[in-house]
Amino acid sequence: MNITLQLFGRFREFADGPELRLELPGVTTAAEFRAAFEAWARTHWPDAATALLQASAIATETTLLHARSPLPADGRLALLPPVSGG
Amino acid sequence: MNITLQLFGRFREFADGPELRLELPGVTTAAEFRAAFEAWARTHWPDAATALLQASAIATETTLLHARSPLPADGRLALLPPVSGG
Amino acid sequence: MNLAREERIACRVVDIADAPLDPLDAIAFVSDDAFGGIDVFIGRVRTRSLGRQCVGIHYDMFDPLALAVFRRAAEASIEAHDPQARCYIAHAKGKLAVGDLAVVVAFASAHRDAAFRGCRQAIEAVKYQAPIWKQEHFTDGSTAWSEGTPLVAADAGAGADGA
Amino acid sequence: MNLAREERIACRVVDIADAPLDPLDAIAFVSDDAFGGIDVFIGRVRTRSLGRQCVGIHYDMFDPLALAVFRRAAEASIEAHDPQARCYIAHAKGKLAVGDLAVVVAFASAHRDAAFRGCRQAIEAVKYQAPIWKQEHFTDGSTAWSEGTPLVAADAGAGADGA
């Protein structure tokens, strides 16, 4: 599946732009995306980023995804590290 | 003692002006004032006012008086019915 | 930032004939670059009271004692929730219409929990301890003084004029 | 006064480059002649954080989800504290300086207890559930993203996409 992953907060420091485009074959749920993306991150990002990934959520524009949530048809996801608003 | 008693809230309806001037001989504490004033009120005010008096406090400009508090030298007191600010 | 406590407290009685209460005045007073949280409570005259339609409220007040009570309320709230906090208490008097602001309390602290608790404690003291009386004016032309809460002098043991 | 719930909720994301947050906008939105109590919480950028001197905070935000979270927070707060209440939630984004307002939450109800509780519940949701990230800028030129709180999806049983 073609994924567009928006990056926020500290993740912005690990990429050149505000989003990543990834081709991840066979990925249909949030849990599958997470496993595939963690594998990608281990080869492209420093250890600090993969550690932060463990504490991060996967979301669409309207909701956080559960492990078994299907990915949206447009492949647009957001990677949300621990939050600190207010 | 010459007392000037400021009236507030519902007590304003029982008098012609915002304060009463009373000559109450032998009164030196808040408790003595209260007893003497209740006697005065029973002859000058309706029953509703004497009932309200039971639930009211006696104060100066800076503090509420306890039963045994001495009256201020200037004889200026305020009669405070139950409050409802805010 | 290192002001003495009395400089971190503002208390006002405002005659509605002179000016309305101003929440921005409250926010400006309690703001401090050391503080992250400000809580503001605003009491506003509403249309219904005791199940009847209200056109306004006349607030009567014993000004000097009210100001003394506001100050003691602010001091107690600061003492209880953050000794470095700032507190503002203002109450209107006179004939207020529906929608007019009757009271504005603001409390600011480094942290929001203290801001909420401090503001709440201060408004409760204003409602139950300040010499202020509410006369409601109803649409049918009648009026009624609120039942209210009897004032009770603080524990005699705490006062110089006690036993 | 008898507006549907969605009309009694206002949620805003404001880019500091466009405008500052405005507490009077919050107060005006939640005001209603049926309500006697308004509680407003204001979060303001402060000078110290983690024991270091701060010159400002950069807030990053995932706007569409933040707005959805604000709305759900307001709905939950109204549901919990007064089904007739009004709630306003606004958060700034961009590079804020010390003293700038980061968040304004207002909750109004017929009674003050609901106003305080509703406002508190809403700001807690904003802090722990909204996709917003704080990067602190210190006087020595260094920066740090706040540790923060991990987001957790609501109970799967409650969602259509659960088990």
Residue C161: which pLDDT band, with cuts at 50, 70 and 90? very low
Tokens encoding A10: 């500290």
Tokens encoding B33: 């004032």
The reported pLDDT for the residue numbered C154 is 73
The reported pLDDT for the residue numbered D48 is 85
Say yes or no to pLDDT of D49 above 90. Answer: no
Tokens encoding C138: 């109803």
For residue D49, the cross-strand partners are: D52
Check residues D152 and C116 and name the one with the higher pLDDT: C116
Nearest-neighbour CA in chain B from C112: distance (Å) = 23
The reported pLDDT for the residue numbered D153 is 83
Residue of D nearest to C40 (CA): D40
The reported pLDDT for the residue numbered D160 is 41
CA distance B49 to B52: 5
CA distance D45 to D12: 18
Nearest-neighbour CA in chain D from A43: distance (Å) = 24
Phi, psi of D127, deg, nearest 5? -70, -40
For residue C91, the cross-strand partners are: C13, C103
Say yes or no to pLDDT of C113 above 80. Answer: yes
CB contact under 8 A, D42 and C40: yes
Question: What amino acid is encoded at A61 in this protein?
Answer: E
Using CA atoms of C125, C128, C131, C136 in order, give the dihedral in degrees to the nearest 10.
120
Tokens encoding C3: 């002001």
Count Cα atoms within 13 angstroms, Cβ side, for B20: 19
- Digit-coded pLDDT (tens) for D71-121: 999 999 999 999 999 999 999 999 999 999 999 999 999 999 999 999 999
Cβ proximity of B30 and B66 under 8 Å: yes
Using CA atoms of C132, C137, C138, C141 in order, give the dihedral in degrees to the nearest 10.
150
The reported pLDDT for the residue numbered D155 is 59
What residues of chain C, 98 to 117, have a C-beta less than 8 Å from chain B? 102-103
CB contact under 8 A, C115 and D34: no
Cβ proximity of B57 and C69 under 8 Å: no
- Digit-coded pLDDT (tens) for C31-70: 999 999 999 999 999 998 768 899 999 999 999 999 999 9
Share of chain C above pLDDT 90, in %: 87
Question: What amino acid is encoded at B65 in this protein?
Answer: L
Cβ proximity of C97 and C45 under 8 Å: yes
Residue C155: which pLDDT band, with cuts at 50, 70 and 90? low
Tokens encoding C88: 């503002």
Work out whether the CA dihedral B69, B75, B76, B82 comes out positive or negative: positive
Q: Which residues of B touch C133 (CB under 8 A)?
A: 8-10, 81, 83-85
Check residues A70 and C162 and name the one with the higher pLDDT: A70
Say yes or no to pLDDT of D162 above 70. Answer: no
Say yes or no to pLDDT of C2 above 90. Answer: no
Cβ burial, residue B19 (10 Å; 0-12/13-18/19+): middle
Q: Which CATH architecture has domain C5-42+61-133?
A: Alpha-Beta Complex (3.90)
Q: Provide the angle, in degrees to the nearest 10, between the axes of the packed helices C112-129 and C63-81.
A: 150
Say yes or no to pLDDT of C3 above 90. Answer: no
Q: Where are the alpha helices (DSSP H) in chain C?
A: 23-30, 63-81, 112-129
The reported pLDDT for the residue numbered A23 is 96
- Across the range C134-158, mean pLDDT stands at 87
Tokens encoding C1: 């930032």
DSSP secondary structure letters along B16-61: SSSEEEEE-TT--BHHHHHHHHHHHHHHHS-HHHHHHHHT-EEE-S
Q: Which residues of A touch D126 (CB under 8 A)?
A: 85-86
Using CA atoms of D14, D17, D20, D26 in order, give the dihedral in degrees to the nearest 10.
-20
Average pLDDT, chain D: 93
What ipTM was reported for this prediction?
A: 0.94
| Domain ranges, ordered by start, for chain D | 5-42+61-133
Q: Which residues of B touch C59 (CB under 8 A)?
A: 85
- Across the range A11-23, mean pLDDT stands at 95
Cβ proximity of C13 and C61 under 8 Å: yes
CA distance A28 to A40: 16
- Across the range D12-35, mean pLDDT stands at 98
CB contact under 8 A, B85 and C133: yes
The reported pLDDT for the residue numbered B33 is 98
Say what the pTM is: 0.94
Residue C159: which pLDDT band, with cuts at 50, 70 and 90? very low
What residues of chain B, 22 to 81, have a C-beta less than 8 Å from chain C? 55-57, 59-66, 68-70, 78, 80-81
Count Cα atoms within 13 angstroms, Cβ side, for A70: 5
Q: What is the pLDDT along chain B (86 residues), one digit of tens a residue?
A: 999 999 999 999 999 999 999 999 999 999 999 999 999 999 999 999 999 999 999 999 999 999 999 999 999 999 999 999 99
CB contact under 8 A, A85 and D135: no
CA distance A13 to A46: 11
Say yes or no to pLDDT of D161 above 70. Answer: no
Cβ proximity of D106 and D30 under 8 Å: yes
How far apart, in Å, do the first and last CA atoms of chain A sit?
36
For residue C58, the cross-strand partners are: C95, C135
Identify which of B9, B11, D32, B80 has the alpha carbon closest to the alpha carbon of residue C57.
Answer: B9
Tokens encoding D145: 């993203």
- Digit-coded pLDDT (tens) for D146-156: 999 999 987 55
Helix (H) or strand (E) holding B54: helix B47-54
Share of chain C above pLDDT 70, in %: 93
DSSP secondary structure letters along A54-67: HT-EEE-SS-BPPT
- Digit-coded pLDDT (tens) for C61-79: 999 999 999 999 999 999 9
Q: Which residues of B touch C127 (CB under 8 A)?
A: 83-86
The reported pLDDT for the residue numbered A2 is 96
Say yes or no to pLDDT of D126 above 90. Answer: yes
